[in-house]
Amino acid sequence: MNAALSAPTTSHGDFTIDRVYDAEPQDVWAAWTDPAVKARWFIGPEGWSLVERTLDVRVGATEILRGRFAHNDFETLFTARYHLVEPGARLVYVYDMHLAGRHHSVSVATVEFIADGVRTRLRFTEQVTFVDGTDGREGTASRQRGTAAHLDRIAGVV
């Protein structure tokens, strides 16, 4: 891996996803902060297997999710650090994504838990900086395919 061969480029973006769950905020909160519950939904897609998982939701504490796709030995690594922890209300964490050993992105993720009657509105906002400027053609073999080709597989990397 020689970073000097390809000039890194940087790009930014953000998005927000809203979901309403038929559950109380304390249950939705538990799903994000209890390691056993988070492990039920924060997983990779088919073909991905878990290598390492830790979760400690306290300010300054960290979360790790490392996995691998068996068919091409492609490793995914999610590392997060919690910056704001307001039980039942808000979470803000910063996370890095490494794909196949390359630093792919740095993000600020904000999760808001909003009571909506007996339901809970969850608002997930991510502000992301992609730091790896390779465009896929010069990346690792598993990233050489075209637009959206890996949507199914990469769309589960954390």
Partner 1 sequence: MLQHQALDRVFQALADPSRRAIVDRLSHGDASVSELARPLAMSLAAVVQHVQLLEASGLIRTEKTGRVRTCQLDRGVLSQAETWLSQRRTLWEGHLDRLGEVLAQQKAERVAKAAPSDPPKQRSAAVRRPRKPT
Stretch that binds partner 1, among 25-33, 52-60, 65-73, 81-89 (CB under 8 A): 25-33
| 152 near partner 1 (CB under 8 A) | yes
| Residue among 9 and 54 whose Cβ is closer to partner 1 | 9
User: Hey, what amino acid is at 145?
Assistant: R
| 114 interacts with partner 1 by CB under 8 A | no
| 19 sits near partner 1 (criterion: CB under 8 A) | yes
Cβ proximity of 154 and 139 under 8 Å = no
* Structure tokens that stand for 84 in this block: 């704001």
Instruction: Give the residue, chosen from 15, 60, 73, 141, that forms a contact with partner 1 under the rule CB under 8 A.
Output: 15
Q: Residue type for 66, please?
A: R
β-pair partners for 21: 120
Alpha carbon distance 5, 1 (integer Å): 9
HSE value, Cβ hemisphere, 13 Å, CA-based, for 18: 5
Report how far residue 29's alpha carbon sits from residue 67's, in angstroms, rounded to the nearest whole number.
24
Q: Which of 3, 7, 41, 65: binder of partner 1 (CB under 8 A)?
A: 41
Nearer residue to partner 1 within complex by CB, 60 or 129: 129
In the complex, least distance from residue 102 CB atom to partner 1, rounded to whole angstroms: 13
CA-based max dimension of the chain: 56
* Residues contributing to the site for partner 1 (CB under 8 A): 11-13, 15, 17, 19, 21-23, 27-28, 31, 37, 40-43, 45, 104-105, 118, 122, 124, 126, 128, 130, 135-136, 145-152, 154-158
